Amino acid sequence: MDVLIVGAGAMGRWFGEVVGDKGRVAFVDREEEVARETADAVGGRTISERTTERFGIVCLAVPIPAVERAIALYAPLADRAIADVSGVMRAPVAAMETHAPEREHVSLHPLFSPENAPGNVPIVAGEGPAAEWIRERLRGAGNALVETTPEEHDVAMETIQTKAHAAVLAYALAADDVPDGFETPVSRELDGLVETVTDGNSRVYADIQSTFPGAETVAEAAIEIAEADRESFEALYREAGE
């Protein structure tokens, strides 16, 4: 099946490698050199942003703030299905219903960076041939599909992304330098998490923080712990363990 991927960054390349057939996947990106490099890497080709060529599947692999507009622009090029790997689901699924009502809709969110693939992939999709074709390719690459709804997914992201990232970054900002040899299993794990989170793209993390609420509850919990007396702290400790 011919596939067009809008956005030739890490997620676009991942989708092309896993779902696209060599010679039948095309990329379009505002940065033409990035599109060429990605297309060469996966055995695909590049096309112009002004193309009118049609494809079986059109996949949007663009940043969260751009996904709704990209769906509106590129939905007319999809013959069978339109998909996205933006990381949010309610907004793109609604945009697909508006701009491609007669096509299959597939929203995916790989819960890993491409270099850590395969892994869990939440998916919202119907029971059409294109959706099943995508499912088969994802499973064939070793991924575990998590069938979900847009609402369930986006609420979950408030905890596993926004709150988790806020907690790790807050620790990094609050931590002081300590002499070598002063570490515990807990601090060692936290330092590793800081390295993982900060070895990414700040824009991507900012998009997540802007899209999904939850960071303020982490701050509120930290204040509650800091201000607790001994009895209250022990109660909070037990609550956290539950």
pTM of structure:
0.94
Q: Where are the beta strands (DSSP E) in 16-100?
A: 25-28, 45-46, 55-60, 78-84
Instruction: Decide: 20 and 32 in contact? Cβ < 8 Å.
Output: no
- Inter-helix orientation angle 164-174/215-227, to 10°: 50
Strands of the 25-28 sheet, one edge to the other = 45-46, 25-28, 3-6, 55-60, 78-84, 104-108, 120-125, 144-147
| Of residues 106, 91, 77, the one with CA closest to residue 4 | 77
CB burial readout 31-52, b (16+ within 10 A) else e:
eeebbbebbeebebebbeeeee
Q: Both tokens of residue 139?
A: 């499973």
Name the residue ranges covered by the structural domains of the chain: 3-148, 151-241
Cβ partners under 8 Å of residue 173, min gap 6: none
Per-residue pLDDT of the chain (242 residues; tens, 9 = 90+): 999 999 999 999 999 999 988 889 999 999 999 999 999 999 999 999 999 999 999 999 999 999 999 999 999 999 999 999 999 999 999 999 999 999 999 999 999 999 999 999 999 998 999 999 999 999 999 999 999 999 999 999 999 999 999 999 999 999 999 999 999 999 999 999 999 999 999 999 999 999 999 999 999 999 999 999 999 999 999 999 99
At the topology level, CATH places domain 3-148 in Rossmann fold (3.40.50)
